[in-house]
Chains A and B, each alone.
Chain A
């Protein structure tokens, strides 16, 4: 079963708008939540990550919001630009333990930002 569920599958936003991608997880042992950005023909690259001891983390135009009680986290892209058009993956991990930080990925969201 999919332990991390991501929505929407695709998203179209106008330049300057806000892009929001949501993820929900089931395993309460997850304690590390990264987001990846993937351009066509490339491998995913770490964009931003959060641990559950904070409810929000911001890096430039990218913000992760985290709701531990709801087991949900989301990526907000402010002032979206055409160069942000890519596939975004959320993921979850148990940082320690026997899984050695194995990542469980969401299904991915294809973001298109129109000029």
Chain B
């Protein structure tokens, strides 16, 4: 089954404790991205990647890091989480030649930083 998986689905952590949210896709997609969803703000892109070792900032990259060492994986790293990073996070992927909207979204990771 074609899918994007994220782990963990739920995470409660404390300020400053480094964490990683994993994202994996099995569709051989080149383009992967991370979004955060906040009430009243919709989804905002954090980082995106065109392919292995190619990443770039989205609209709200501050406080986040990413890496793309393998085509299928695109982890999101919070080196020192803060309460304002409490949010619902989505990973998405699509083929580079596909329409921009044809993104496959993961199920989401709900992060709470206390």
A residues at B contact (CB < 8 Å): 2, 4, 6, 9, 32, 34, 36, 41-46, 49, 89, 91, 93-95, 100-108
Sorting the interface of chain B by its residue count into under 10, 10 to 19, 20 to 34 or 35 or more gives 20 to 34
Contact of A43 among B58, B90, B99, B102 (CB under 8 A): B90
Q: Is the CB of B101 within 8 A of A107?
A: no
Knowing A43-B90, A102-B45, A103-B45 touch, does A49 contact B50 (C-beta < 8 A)? no
The 4 closest A-B pairs by CB, nearest first: A43-B105, A101-B100, A34-B101, A105-B42
Knowing A6-B42, A41-B107, A42-B108 touch, does A93 contact B31 (C-beta < 8 A)? no
Q: Is the CB of B41 within 8 A of A107?
A: yes
Q: Which of B58-114 contact A (CB under 8 A)?
A: 58-59, 90, 92, 94, 96, 99-103, 105-108
Q: Is the CB of B50 within 8 A of A100?
A: yes
5 further A-B contacts with Cβ under 8 Å, apart from A101-B31, A101-B94, are A34-B99, A44-B90, A95-B99, A103-B43, A108-B40
Q: Is the CB of B105 within 8 A of A45?
A: yes
Q: Is the CB of A44 within 8 A of B101?
A: no
Q: Is the CB of A89 within 8 A of B43?
A: yes
